[in-house]
């Protein structure tokens, strides 16, 4: 039987001894804590020298491996050198492989668990390989080394691997000359709870590192946090559960005891001592030997769910700045407001996709289930997206889809011009493993509902006797709006630049809706004075899509485009006309987007709302794609909108809600203009009485 002992600088209250069955051999495993007494640790190393097959040093690192640099600690080296015959190990070599392997396997078991999360690593210099493994998931990192090892909360925390390397280079040569217990947070007299790092623990979604450090510095409240650590005892696991932690990921396996009773998780030095004892290879086994041993022994992490809370259904959504001023609104890029805007616009377009925030608090009224989302942004404005090759946008959206999948999303929505460029999501869907939707089906349903309400509020009494115009009629949204308006109103003017597409759409509508009066034209001007409702859905950037001076008194313009087709200064010339934005949606629950998307609290664009609505319904496949939107999907979205409690937000015009008083004034001005033109004046509107 092989015998190994772990001599730890930690508490003696956690000592254990058992026999494990490893690869068919029995290994006696023993831990002895010294309560921070390094002199006792040195004595124990001498006492066990030649009496066991390997000695592990727990909480004692003779040489820190930080990147390519090596930092010896003289006292720890002196303790290790007390053994003349038995190999002494610290676990550094096995951590290089096992920490990385455990992180990878845990991420496979809990897809996206590390992606774009806030991760606090209790000690980067102790678990450098762990830090490297976590950094590859584009997480936001903080390293608690200044507090954990030096007790100096005023020192800046390293927040990247580069900063961690710099921290190690400036501090470790000094601390190497000090007693080792200065580095160890649970040395003699420092076993109790330390509050100095609590705000950093509260900040983190994931806390990773040696359990000795977590036990000393973690606050009482660990609600919904993921713990990545090495050797918690069964009682400590129960304590994590009681404090609200959601998931435990171990960096070491649970060894199999020969009496089949529960055996504890053990630290890296213990595992490395087992490898050295069984391979009889001396204190420095080759990396290949360690890899093969881990594989043969099937060592890996345990993923233990501590909370019964079911993971919320998750979606992703992609936005982008509508103009350079939106770039300066982001806290990280405020400095760009002082730079030439065209330069900012061109440079920002080259940025890779960025994760912005988590969307919380959306709750279906039908099922009571809460869903959550993740928000991404591209750097390109509409002008940059339109002037570049479609592959430029495709590459970024496909990367967003892969990021979203790693974060646990099953569906991704395309916002603003990302749903306009190229084939409206088809290519992105083909190259993505999660569902993709442009959100245009609900956009159509919400647009027409908002338009209907606006026309009624402007005094219309019989919608079927009105006349509507769709500008951009051959586009994906415009064509469905035109087809549905033909069914509801019957008299529709189609406006688009390409005559052949107009003719095809005209014939399609006339076949679908016999008796509909359809006019097709490439210029809107000749028909503006006849139309009660104009829906603009173009991807033009000029803002000169229609001539507002020619609009019919009291007309309603529903502007679906982003950026808008109608400029505020142009609309100001016709105060008798109502210009509204496309139907925005009030999401159920208490939505928090974690970012200013340019709308009032709880309000979302219809394209984002469709993505959330499909998630509420657990419909995760591709939905609205391409230029030809299925009318039945638009109707289905309207039905699901009612089912789950999504509501149309109040009518908005140029980012402001329209009051009843403002509507009454527009109706008055419209009647006044009708009198001037010798046109019939509407009867008083019911809402104004």
How do 435-437 and 517-521 pair as beta strands?
unpaired
Non-local CB neighbours of 592 within 8 Å, separated by 6+ positions? 359, 360, 361
Per-residue model confidence as pLDDT tens digits over 626-641: 878 888 999 999 999 9
Domain boundaries, the chain: 2-89, 92-305, 314-441+594-648, 453-585+652-688
| pLDDT surpassing 80 at residue 298 | yes
Closest CA to 542 of 523, 517, 516, 561: 561
Question: What is the rounded average pLDDT for all residues in the chain?
Answer: 88
SS3 635: helix
Contact 596, 318 (CB under 8 A): no
What is the helix (H) or strand (E) element at residue 653, kind and residue range?
A: strand 652-653
Alpha-helical runs (H) found in 351-389: 382-387
Contact 100, 204 (CB under 8 A): no
Per-residue model confidence as pLDDT tens digits over 353-374: 999 899 999 999 999 999 999 9
- Work out the average pLDDT over 137-147: 89
Q: Which residues pair with 27 in a beta bridge?
A: 2, 20
pLDDT of residue 435: 94
- Calculate ∠ Cα 641-409-476, nearest 5°: 50
| pLDDT surpassing 60 at residue 157 | yes
Strands (E), 77-235: 88-89, 118-121, 140-143, 206-208, 226-229
Non-local CB neighbours of 374 within 8 Å, separated by 6+ positions? 116, 314, 315, 316, 317, 355, 357, 358, 359, 404, 407, 409
What's the topology of domain 453-585+652-688? Rossmann fold (3.40.50)
Name which residue leads in pLDDT, 59 or 436: 436
DSSP for 42-80 reads: HHHHHHHTTTSSEEEEET--SEEEETTEEEE-HHHHHHH
HSE on the CB side for 610, CA within 13 Å?
33
Give the pair of three-digit tokens for residue 58: 């727990």
Give the percent of the chain with pLDDT over 70: 95
Q: Phi and psi for 112 in degrees, rounded to 5?
A: 80, 10
């Amino acid at each position: 039987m092989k015998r190994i002992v772990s001599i730890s600088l930690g508490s003696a209250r956690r000592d254990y001894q058992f026999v494990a069955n490893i690869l068919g051999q029995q290994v006696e495993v023993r831990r002895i804590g010294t309560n921070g007494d390094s002199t006792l640790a040195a004595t124990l190393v001498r006492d066990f020298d030649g009496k066991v097959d390997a000695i592990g040093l727990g909480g004692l690192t003779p040489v820190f491996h930080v990147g390519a640099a090596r930092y010896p600690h003289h006292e720890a080296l002196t303790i290790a050198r007390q053994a003349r015959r038995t190999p002494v190990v610290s676990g550094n070599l096995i951590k290089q492989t096992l920490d990385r392997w455990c992180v990878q396997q845990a991420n496979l078991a809990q897809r996206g668990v590390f992606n774009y999360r806030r991760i606090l690593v209790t000690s980067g210099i102790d678990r450098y390989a762990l830090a490297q493994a976590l950094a590859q998931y584009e997480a936001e990192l903080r390293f608690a080394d200044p507090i954990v090892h030096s007790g100096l909360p005023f020192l800046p925390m390293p927040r990247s691997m580069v900063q961690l390397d710099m921290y190690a280079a400036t501090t470790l040569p000094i601390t190497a000359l000090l007693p080792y217990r200065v580095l160890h947070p649970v040395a003699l007299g420092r076993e109790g709870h330390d509050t100095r790092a609590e705000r950093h623990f509260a900040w983190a979604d994931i806390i990773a590192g040696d359990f000795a450090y977590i036990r000393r510095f973690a606050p009482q409240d660990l609600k919904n946090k993921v713990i990545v650590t090495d050797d918690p005892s069964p009682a400590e696991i129960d304590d994590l559960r009681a404090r609200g932690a959601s998931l435990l990921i171990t960096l070491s396996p649970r060894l199999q005891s020969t009496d089949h009773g529960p055996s504890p998780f053990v630290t890296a030095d213990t595992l490395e001592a087992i490898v050295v004892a069984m391979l009889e290879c001396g204190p420095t086994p080759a990396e290949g030997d360690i890899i093969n041993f881990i594989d043969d022994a099937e060592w890996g992490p345990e993923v233990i769910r501590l909370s019964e809370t079911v993971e919320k259904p998750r979606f992703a959504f992609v936005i982008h700045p509508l103009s350079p001023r939106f770039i300066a609104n982001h806290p990280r890029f405020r400095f760009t407001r002082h730079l030439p805007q065209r330069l900012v616009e061109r440079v920002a377009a080259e940025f890779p996709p960025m994760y912005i925030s988590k969307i919380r608090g959306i709750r279906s009224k039908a099922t009571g289930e809460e869903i959550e989302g993740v928000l991404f942004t591209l750097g390109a404005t509409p002008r940059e997206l339109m002037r570049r090759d479609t592959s430029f946008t495709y590459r970024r959206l496909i990367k967003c889809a892969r990021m979203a999948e790693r974060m646990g999303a099953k569906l991704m929505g395309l916002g603003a011009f990302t749903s306009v460029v190229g084939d409206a999501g088809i290519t992105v869907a083909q190259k993505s493993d999660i569902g993709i939707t442009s959100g245009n089906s609900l956009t159509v349903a919400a647009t027409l509902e908002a338009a209907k309400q606006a026309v009624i509020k402007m005094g219309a009494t019989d919608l079927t006797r009105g006349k509507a115009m769709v500008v951009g009629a051959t586009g994906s949204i415009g064509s469905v709006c035109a087809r549905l308006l033909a069914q509801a109103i019957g008299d529709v003017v189609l406006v688009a630049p390409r005559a052949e597409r107009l003719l095809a759409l005209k014939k399609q509508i006339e076949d679908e809706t016999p008796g509909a009066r359809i006019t097709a034209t490439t210029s809107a001007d000749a028909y503006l004075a006849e139309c009660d409702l104009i829906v603009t859905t173009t991807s033009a950037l000029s803002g000169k899509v229609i001539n507002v001076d020619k609009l019919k008194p009291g007309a309603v313009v529903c502007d679906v485009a982003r950026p808008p087709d109608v400029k505020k200064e142009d609309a100001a010339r016709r105060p008798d006309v109502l210009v509204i934005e496309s139907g925005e949606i009030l999401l159920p629950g208490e939505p928090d987007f974690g970012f200013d998307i340019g709308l009032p609290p709880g309000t979302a664009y219809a394209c984002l709302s469709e993505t959330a609505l499909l998630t509420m319904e657990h419909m995760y496949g591709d939905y609205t794609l391409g230029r030809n939107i299925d009318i039945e999907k638009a109707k289905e979205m309207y039905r699901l909108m009612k089912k789950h409690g999504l509501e149309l937000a109040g009518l908005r015009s140029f980012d402001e809600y329209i009051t009843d008083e403002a509507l009454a004034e527009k109706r008055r001005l419209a009647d006044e203009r009708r009198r001037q033109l010798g046109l019939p004046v509407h009867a008083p509107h019911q809402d104004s009485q």
